[in-house]
Structure 1
Amino acid sequence: MLFRSWERAPTTTDATGAGSGVVAGARPGADGGGQRWPDVARVTDHVGVAHLLVTRHALVREVLTDPIRYRPDNALDAVTPMPVAALRTLAAHRFRLPPTLANNSGVSHPEIRALVAEALHPTRVAAQRDWLAALVRRRVAALDATLDTGVPVDLHAGLAADLPLLVLARLVELPDAPVAAVKDFARAALELFWAPLDADRQQTLATEVGRFHLVLREFAATGGGLAGRLRAAGHPPDVVVGALFFLLVAGQETTSQFLTLLLHRLTGEPAVLAGLRDGSVAVADVVEEGLRLEPPIVTWRRVAAVDTTLGGTAVPAGTSIVLWLARAGRDPAIVPAPDEFRPGQPGSRRHLAFGAGPHRCVGDQLARMEAATVVAETAELLAGVRVARAPWCPDNLTFRMPDTFLVHR
């Protein structure tokens, strides 16, 4: 899913980067409608800003792995420019997002990233598996009992929504805030920075994000775990807050989105569920195919640092580049059956759901562990349900943000 206004508007670009309006040499579609897209397309967003949309796997990877020509400086920029009133609200709460992780092209990035990676080390992640499996098992049993009474259950709210946050809190010693408050904050941040919005909605979201930002600022000054290690390394308070801010978005909200999207996809894949139950289909292969076909992060942004070319298209310095990660996973150049859910098919693991290059997601093993645990523990339940209400995702440039996912026996 892209901005809905882009989904039916493919154009090619000529050698100067100008849109031709003709989809010559475009690649097969992967949006379920057979639509064809060029490797690089010129698109205009809801406020009239032009972007280059990159769709081909090789070109998306080229951009992500070249921090010299393509910088991450715009990764966290609001796609809807904020009015003065919203900016004042954020300023009143001392809200700032200095370069820390996703938007950091400076010399501080490797050290900050290393500290976060240490907190999310695969050994520490693996140590959470048994605890998480037991929690998921209890929740599945409760959902199963409710289904037995004939009442539908919400697999998003009842199972997936808060699991990644609970695990993350154990790994990095997050502030002791109510789960609901953290989830509301994270979704508000995803909407404020990546959704098309009117001024009233921006003001509401700025107030919500600003208030929780103060909580993070207080914790950054005194908290242990990752916050303490960042302070000990000499990073200023704004950097510590920025790292925590990003973790609360990328470190848990995206994974809960993926869990819901994957569970929904699996309800429509009876052969895969049967294979999970009899052991002929590997859980890890299901997770990778899910990441390829149902990634929670649809796009990511870069800005051209110099005049360059990409796939034969001229890219002037300063150009906003939108990398269509979800489409790159369905590129026929990397998998033989790009639109089919075939766990273990060649190329399935070449998806870019976690990005690539120096900014590749440091929580990839955490997300994989959480998804594998949930898939293993829910296969039996999913095989016996029907979808009563599929998840709905609001318009958003980058995140899918599914809501309620109701199933019944």
Structure 2
Amino acid sequence: MLFRGWGESVDRRWPDLATVVDHVGVGHLVVTRHALVKQVLTDPVTFRPDNALDAVTPMPVAALRVLAGHRFRLPPTLANNSGASHPEIRGIVADALHPTRVAAQQPWLTALVRDRVARLTAELDAGAAVDLYAELAADLPLLVLARLVELPDAPVGAVKDFARAALELFWAPLDAERQLALATEVGRFHTVLRGFAATGGGLAARLRAAGHSPDLVVGALFFLLVAGQETTSQFLTLLLHRLTGEPEVRAGLRAGEVAVGDVVEEGLRLEPPIVTWRRVAAVDTTLGGTTVPAGTSIVAWLARAGRDPEVVAAPTDFRPGQPGSRRHLAFGAGAHRCVGAQLARMEAAVVVAEAAPLLDGVTVVRPPWCPDNLTFRMPDAFVIRRA
């Protein structure tokens, strides 16, 4: 249950808190109500982020040896850092993703998306089927991130394969054979990251100049490449797919009666790429009247919180601009709120504004498929054709 059916069950009746046992017999306290999810995320003292990057399927010795051979380490940096170093590290990363720097990328990104949309329109007009994930959304966030943090040139396909492998290795239910294969892929790319962390400019150089260790620089880059770009390409795919079934919203966009920003926020509320996030209770406490012993694994169900009827009047309907729409927790909350939220919003706004017309008069040949995963949706191909 913890991995299967999150999409299908998100609108079913759930208690505010529920204990769920995962595939290896570990119990988790699943928090579903918006107010309680926000309470967990904004109290890093009681509910620590230490387990945020722990593998949900314990790794066998063979996989651990492969990772160790590549000197793979994930020290506390961003999402898993509850220590005193977090504010400074976050500040350096936030400066690289400052709203002013993000806004400066918008004209370049708009031109790139517009060019791709023109090509895809011609293909659709010619009767061809097009994959909006592979041909539009997959690499856009990586290309923008590379400009902002000054990543070196690297094969886009290799980075995407690494990022998806990492999301699977740490957050999916797996067998030992699959873990070994993923550990090999993740470890190999981690070695490449280590080399860049030692000599690269931009964000890597600023972290080094602040006196941070090579492991920490690698950890920050690892998290940005995994969560900082992969989740956004996932969201772009999920949002475009959702919009194929929302003709009234698309008509409102064409007429200027629906704001692009409101579409993005409603998409984040209803189709977040990150559906859950984890915390661990640091002390004996209570949550929503329920006793929570120290050491309890907490699963904050972000997707469910976005559909809380106490937050929005029409929790399952796609109604851009409805009261409460922007109160979603797709980017988390508190000290560990997503540092790239402004970047993700800008990218999504550009894609909605430029690519929504592609969806008029099309039929979905293949909807995105999402594998079993505790936290990430990870949609794949999204194929459309003119009806």
Indicate the TM-score class for this superposition, using the shorter chain for normalisation. Answer: over 0.9
Partner of 2:380: 403
Which residue of 255, 258, 265 corresponds with 2:232? 255
Contact 1:2/1:298 (CA < 8 Å) preserved in 2?
no
Q: Does 1:336 align with 2:320?
A: no
State the alpha-carbon separation in 2 of the partners of residues 196 and 207 from structure 1. 17
Partner of 1:128: 105
- CA gap of 1:330–1:2, structure 2 versus 1, over 3 A, is farther
Give the letter for the 1:378 counterpart: A
Give the letter for the 1:202 counterpart: Q
State the alpha-carbon separation in 2 of the partners of residues 245 and 108 from structure 1. 17
State the alpha-carbon separation in 2 of the partners of residues 93 and 354 from structure 1. 31
Contact 1:152/1:407 (CA < 8 Å) preserved in 2?
yes
Which residue of 140, 148, 152 corresponds with 1:171? 148
State the alpha-carbon separation in 2 of the partners of residues 348 and 283 from structure 1. 13
Q: TM-score, normalised by structure 2?
A: 0.98
Number of positions where the alignment pairs a residue of Structure 1 with one of Structure 2: 386
Partner of 2:349: 372
- CA gap of 1:293–1:172, structure 2 versus 1, over 3 A, is same
SS at match of 2:233: helix
Q: Does 1:244 align with 2:244?
A: no
Q: Does 1:350 align with 2:327?
A: yes
SS at match of 1:323: strand
Q: Does 1:192 align with 2:149?
A: no
Q: Does 1:44 align with 2:21?
A: yes
| Structure 1 residues 254-285: Cα deviation after superposition (integer angstroms, max 9, x where no partner) | 00000000000000000000000110000000
State the alpha-carbon separation in 1 of the partners of residues 274 and 305 from structure 2. 12
State the alpha-carbon separation in 2 of the partners of residues 131 and 278 from structure 1. 25
Identity %: 82
Give the letter for the 1:317 counterpart: A
Report the alpha carbon displacement of residue 175 of structure 1 after superposing the two structures with TM: 2.8
Partner of 1:234: 211
SS at match of 1:314: strand
State the alpha-carbon separation in 2 of the partners of residues 205 and 140 from structure 1. 34
Give the letter for the 1:358 counterpart: A
Which residue of 71, 80, 93 corresponds with 1:116? 93
- CA gap of 1:147–1:5, structure 2 versus 1, over 3 A, is closer
Contact 2:2/2:21 (CA < 8 Å) preserved in 1?
no
State the alpha-carbon separation in 2 of the partners of residues 267 and 359 from structure 1. 33
| Structure 1 residues 87-114: Cα deviation after superposition (integer angstroms, max 9, x where no partner) | 0000000000000000000000000000
| Structure 1 residues 117-160: Cα deviation after superposition (integer angstroms, max 9, x where no partner) | 00000000000001000000010111111111111000000000
Partner of 1:23: none
Which residue of 125, 144, 160 corresponds with 1:148? 125
State the alpha-carbon separation in 2 of the partners of residues 30 and 235 from structure 1. 41
Report the alpha carbon displacement of residue 384 of structure 1 after superposing the two structures with TM: 2.5
Which residue of 152, 157, 166 corresponds with 2:134? 157
Q: Does 1:105 align with 2:82?
A: yes
| Structure 1 residues 328-357: Cα deviation after superposition (integer angstroms, max 9, x where no partner) | 000000000000000000000000000000
Give the letter for the 2:272 counterpart: P
Contact 2:2/2:20 (CA < 8 Å) preserved in 1?
no
Contact 1:175/1:216 (CA < 8 Å) preserved in 2?
no
Report the alpha carbon displacement of residue 242 of structure 1 after superposing the two structures with TM: 0.1
SS at match of 2:254: helix
Partner of 1:4: 4
Partner of 1:218: 195
Partner of 1:96: 73
* 4+ aligned runs moved over 6 Å, structure 1: 5-8
* Greater share of helix: 2
Which residue of 154, 179, 183 corresponds with 1:206? 183
Contact 1:301/1:320 (CA < 8 Å) preserved in 2?
yes
State the alpha-carbon separation in 2 of the partners of residues 2 and 283 from structure 1. 34
Contact 1:299/1:398 (CA < 8 Å) preserved in 2?
yes
Partner of 2:42: 65
Report the alpha carbon displacement of residue 379 of structure 1 after superposing the two structures with TM: 1.7
- CA gap of 1:93–1:30, structure 2 versus 1, over 3 A, is closer
Residue range with higher mean Cα deviation, 150-159 or 383-392:
383-392
Q: TM-score, normalised by structure 1?
A: 0.93
